[in-house]
Amino acid sequence: MSSISNLENLPPQTIRAVTKELNALVEESLEGIKLHVSEEDITDIQATIDGPAGTPYACGTFRVKLVLGRDFPQGPPKGYFLTKIFHPNVAANGEICVNTLKKDWKPDLGIKQVLLTIKCLLIVPNAESALNEEAGKLLLEKYDDYFSRARLMTEIHAQSGRTSKTPLEEEEDGPSASKKPAISKQPLSANSMVVDKKKLLAAKEKKKTLKRL
């Protein structure tokens, strides 16, 4: 997918219309969709889409890009997922296959309809027009396997803020974590401090003894 600007290829009236629609979408604020408008290149249309609840993409955030061709809006834009995703209608290079961007395209649909269609595609994949044959086959024949695979890809690539735990944190969160004694939030008394000091001295003496052995 080329990252070269398409600004020079579009007629001025198209650029004005696209600019007007994008500004309106920013003000409208579509549910689950956040538009990212480039001030330097209005044809660089990107958005982040929240994975819909009840799907393997839930809790994920997916970045998509729309590429406007020279014949836009007479011809449909091309859509790409920039975030890796396991989906029947998304190719390895991120290209999206959906009828709205192909045979069902109409010049009056606009950017808003395209983004809503892509979001709906996360809810209802279409195995009949699969670009990812493996995902399409699993969707039809082994849905649980498809769901698990798509879920794993979402967790790896679409969930920001996930950080690997240190060995100590993993140990604390392990099976034995529930067996640890609860830490008292009560302030220590003078007697308890004396007892703790005696235990510490006894431990030091035991350590010295062991070293001598």
Contacts 24+ apart (CB under 8 A), 41-45: 41/5, 41/7, 42/7, 42/15, 42/18, 43/5, 43/6, 43/7, 43/10, 43/15, 43/18, 43/67, 43/68, 44/5, 45/18, 45/77, 45/111
pLDDT exceeds cutoff 70 at 29: yes
Q: Are 46 and 114 in contact (CB under 8 A)?
A: no
Q: Specify the range with the lowest mean pLDDT, choosing from 47-61, 73-87, 178-192.
A: 178-192
3-class DSSP assignment, residue 81: strand
The question of whether 97 is a catalytic residue gets the answer: yes
Q: Specify the range with the lowest mean pLDDT, choosing from 114-128, 167-181, 198-212.
A: 167-181
The more confident residue out of 55 and 207 is: 55
**Per-state percent for the chain, helix, strand, coil, to nearest 5:** 45, 10, 40
The tens digit of pLDDT for each residue in 146-155 reads 999 999 999 9
Neighbours of 178 (CB within 10 A): 6
What are the tokens at 50?
Answer: 């929240």
pLDDT exceeds cutoff 50 at 91: yes
The more confident residue out of 143 and 173 is: 143
How large is the average pLDDT for residues 113-125? 96
pLDDT exceeds cutoff 60 at 35: yes
pLDDT for position 37: 85
State the pairing for strand pair 61-67/78-81: antiparallel
Which entry of 42, 68, 97, 114 is annotated as an active-site residue?
97
pLDDT for position 24: 92
Tell me how far apart the alpha carbons of residues 127 and 146 are, in angstroms, rounded to a whole number: 12
18 burial (CB, 10 Å; 0-12 / 13-18 / 19+) is: buried
Structural domains in the chain? 7-157 (3.10.110.10)
pLDDT range class, residue 189, cuts 50, 70, 90: very low
What percentage of the chain has pLDDT greater than the value 70?
72
How large is the average pLDDT for residues 10-39? 90
Mean pLDDT estimate for the chain? 80
pLDDT for position 208: 54
